[in-house]
Chains A and B, each alone.
Chain A
Amino acid sequence: MSVIQVKNLTKIYSETEVPVHAVNGIDISFDKGEFAAIVGPSGSGKTTLLNMIGGLEHPTSGSVLVNGKDISELSSSKLIDFRLYNIGFVFQAYNLIPVLTAKENVEFIMQLQNWDKTKMDKRTIGILESVGLGDRINSKPNQLSGGQQQRVAVARALASKPQFILADEPTANLDSKSTNQLLEIMEKLNKEENITFIFSTHDQRVVDKARRVITIDDGKVVSDIVKKV
């Protein structure tokens, strides 16, 4: 069953002199447990598409259905709650809360969801161990390398068991070793937790790992390839 259904999605930025058609009538859907990469050149509309799937931007037309519910019609405050309970985000620049430790960063979303303390502790430690940072739980972001910070970000996104994870260029700031480590971790967690991962990326290494590769250009889907395992 589809977790996400994107129907005839369009985004036009009309604040500029010439209106920009960032996303131009995209139809696409994602099933539970997918590990998919959206690729395309800069300005092709990857990030805009991801933002609309994540409820960070309202589409000009079309709809985004998550488990059958149209999120493009939700108010901005309802969208915040929707994101809190349904989506995990991984950003290019890690975007951890600098004043919190790795453990506190991972706990953050669970705290917002009012998790029980014991359950939250168990989950946090477990997920940090899964991303190989069991020994760095009390380190602040500035005490961690870029790769380690991104692993904390992945742990944060996954901890509250969202419906799916959106990762916008997650490896763009990482070296090869860190990229490989991160991809292996994400692949493992995708299988273990059966959570859908959707990436927007330029990185060939991500494309190689992805089980489905969607290529977009000029705001349209050019190809959608599901790899045979």
Chain B
Amino acid sequence: MMLLKIAWRNIWRSKTRSAVVIFAIASGLVGGLFASAWMNGMAQQRVVNTFSIETAHIQLHNPKFAENFDVKKTILSTEEKLKEISKIEGVKAVTSRLIISAMAATANKNMGVTVVGIHPKTEKEVFGLYKKIDTANGNFFISKKKNAIVISKALAKELKVRLKSKIILTFQDYNGEITGAAFKVIGIFKTDNSPWDKSHVFVKDIDLRKVLEITKGQSHEIDILLNDYTQASLISSDIKNIYPELLSEDWSEIQPYLSFITEYMDIMMGVFMLIILGALGFGIVNTMLMVILERTKELGMLMAIGMNKKRIFLMIMLETILLALVGAFVGEIISMFLIKYFGRVGINISSLAEGMESVGYSAISYPVLEPYRYIQITILVILTGIIASIYPAIKALKLNPSESIRTL
């Protein structure tokens, strides 16, 4: 207790020097934490957007459909399966889709696209694509008009179409015949992933089913939204047991790079913080060496009157850790405010929007850092303090008390 008191008060003996060290630690941590929160926010947005727009949390397919998108390889008795799946604990919503590769043609251009046939009501429960259509750009199948199509802004630009324009979709039907139909654009969406945008168009299940000549009850994909996405692999394996004839994949299997992003961000953040703390550690070592030099006489006196090496070592270590912790505390408080503020208003790097969106990231990102990260950083700072104190403490232990007392 006495050692802690001495260590704490010693920090404030040279206020300017301690302030410089605290400022250095605090600014290092603010930089590190804020950058980590920014990257983390971008990655999380990417993951959430992918769930919301592209994959949901679990997908079921006929295993052969997954191989080559053969229109005939369908899931049978879809309605019954949807009902059963919706009863599984942890499942929030479920929908089914028809999926076919097609050629989208206008008077200007032809492009290969994936046509997704959806049930508007349940689709909205599982996916958030309908939120990506602003009011000036139509809607997501609100009207009951036949042969309506929703396409992306990027595709509309390529095909040079607008709302109410017609697009001809040509594809192979269930019987292998080339068929097609004209669809009227009723909505134009825009997500943060421009390559995906260009390759997907949405029509109603009922319209596509008719053209494809697929009977009721068959579908190509069942998409499941869960209450907690971290449970996806667990629930997916339960579903595998219920429907062994189907291929059940959780989000990390559908888009392996999503879990890679999360893990990569973790590693990046760790490396980033280690570099910053390593640099700060050297600064702390330097400061503590100066402290030892200045207090040679005092340390000599402490040894002379009977303070043993263990206690001297502990006193210097405590002082170093406390100094680092004060810096960490200041840095973490500032970081918390900054991350909270920018987490609310977002960081807009619209000048890079095109590049960001071409790799699936939003131009506006919202920094976010989980509370446990602050605890991790605090532990790392304590470790840095411990490591940084070793060399100065060893130096102090080598002092000769009788010589040290006589130093000026």
Q: Which residues of A contact B (CB under 8 A)?
A: 51, 54, 56-57, 77, 80-81, 83-85, 87-89, 91, 93, 95, 97-100, 104, 107-109, 111-112, 156-157
Contact = CB atoms under 8 A, between A and B. Distances in A.
A157 B311 CA distance: 19
Contacts of A87: 306
Contacts of A51: 402
Interface string B259-301: 0000000000000000000000000000000000000011001
A104 B2 CA distance: 9
A100 B9 contact: yes
Contact of B298 (A77, A80, A95): A95
Contacts of A93: 297
Nearest to A140: B9
Contacts of B5: 100, 104
Contacts, number: 60
B10 A84 contact: no
Contact of A89 (B9, B297, B305, B309): B305
A93 B302 CA distance: 14
Contacts of B298: 95, 97-98
Interface of B: 2, 5-6, 9-10, 13, 297-298, 301-309, 311, 401-402, 405
Contact of A109 (B13, B297, B306, B308): B306
B31 to A, nearest CB: 32
A87 B311 CA distance: 19
Most buried by A among B5, B10, B305, B309: B305
Nearest to B295: A98
Nearest to B6: A99
Nearest to A110: B2
Nearest to A94: B301
B304 A97 contact: no
B10 to A, nearest CB: 6
Given A51-B402, A56-B402, A57-B402, A98 B305 contact: no
A2 B105 CA distance: 114
Contacts of B311: 112
A137 to B, nearest CB: 16
8 contacts: A54-B304, A56-B401, A80-B308, A89-B305, A95-B405, A100-B9, A104-B2, A112-B311
Contacts of A89: 301, 304-305
Contacts of A111: 2
Given A91-B301, A95-B301, A77 B9 contact: no
Contacts of A95: 297-298, 301, 405
A156 B301 CA distance: 12
A56 B401 CA distance: 7
B21 to A, nearest CB: 17
Nearest to B306: A84
Contacts of B304: 54, 56, 83, 89
Nearest to A96: B301
Contacts of B306: 80-81, 83-85, 87, 109, 112
A77 B305 contact: no
B400 to A, nearest CB: 8
Nearest to A93: B297
A108 B309 contact: no
A100 B303 contact: no
Contacts of B297: 93, 95
B10 A99 contact: yes
Contacts of A54: 304
| 4 smallest beta-carbon distances between A and B, as pairs | A84-B306, A99-B9, A56-B402, A95-B301
Contacts of A80: 303, 306-309
Contacts of B13: 98-99
Contacts of A81: 306, 308
Nearest to A84: B306
Given A95-B297, A95-B298, A109 B402 contact: no
Nearest to A157: B305
A213 to B, nearest CB: 24
A104 B302 CA distance: 14
Contacts of A100: 5-6, 9
